[in-house]
Amino acid sequence: MRSFIIHMSASTSRRPNAERLCHDLPSAELFEAVNGRDPEQIAGVQLFKGDLHRPRYPFPLRPAEVGVFESHRRIWRKLVEEEIDLAIITEDDLRIDPARFGTALEIIAEHATPEHYIRLPVKQRETPVAVLAEKGGLRLILPRVIGLQCCCQVVGRGAAARLLAATDRIDRPVDTFLQMHWITNQPVHALLGTGNQEVAAEIGGSTIQKKTRPGEALEREVKRAKYRLKLQKYPQKP
């Protein structure tokens, strides 16, 4: 099992945490993040305004979201081209619980294949339609609706190939797109109870969020709630 930590070398405040992950994760290395504000780095990315798929995504893509999406795509491509069967992919604001993560690795070794995409989320919000395994307080599930964030996941080579084929054009953030299993033909599982934490606030803050004008936050929440309601029509099934 190899591990890749997405990290932009210019983000010096995040470097200590990224290096800690290199120590904590199996066969880990830093993977240079794509800068979505650099036209040269995203020259080959075809961007659209939320209307490639249904339901329509109600927000324009931010440069940081483009960079994150392309960073994940580059690792998916690496898995395919270098024939890496399984890899842990994390962002550099992750903190793991070493004891629980050891159990997580045991479950992954027992159940994950190159066809799997398994989220190890920091928020335990997903409702299962099927429970595949339970061990040491952790549960491997198929969630009804796939959760957001790409802080930590295990991705197989077959899953990476499917996701690459489905993302030659993008119109929404990577975590939002991964919810669309009916487009990707890629089931997404979740391993709950790992103790994973997101520590962006401790190491310099989010690289995606930005200041909003008065009233914009409420407007976004309303649009986001409507979008999530539409996702309920597309549950994963066992």
- How many C-beta atoms surround the C-beta of residue 37 within 10 A? 12
User: Tens place of pLDDT for every residue, the chain, 238 residues?
Assistant: 999 999 999 999 999 999 999 999 999 999 999 999 999 999 989 999 999 999 999 999 999 999 999 999 999 999 999 999 999 999 999 999 999 999 999 999 999 999 999 999 999 999 999 999 999 999 999 999 999 999 999 999 999 999 999 999 999 999 999 999 999 999 999 999 999 999 999 987 665 555 666 678 889 999 999 999 999 999 999 9
Q: What predicted TM-score, i.e. pTM, was given to this entire model?
A: 0.94
pLDDT value for 200: 94
**Four-residue CA torsion sign, 72, 76, 124, 231:** positive
How far is Cα 196 from Cα 152, in angstroms, rounded to an integer?
Answer: 8
What are the domain boundaries of the chain? 2-231
CATH topology of domain 2-231: Spore Coat Polysaccharide Biosynthesis Protein SpsA; Chain A (3.90.550)
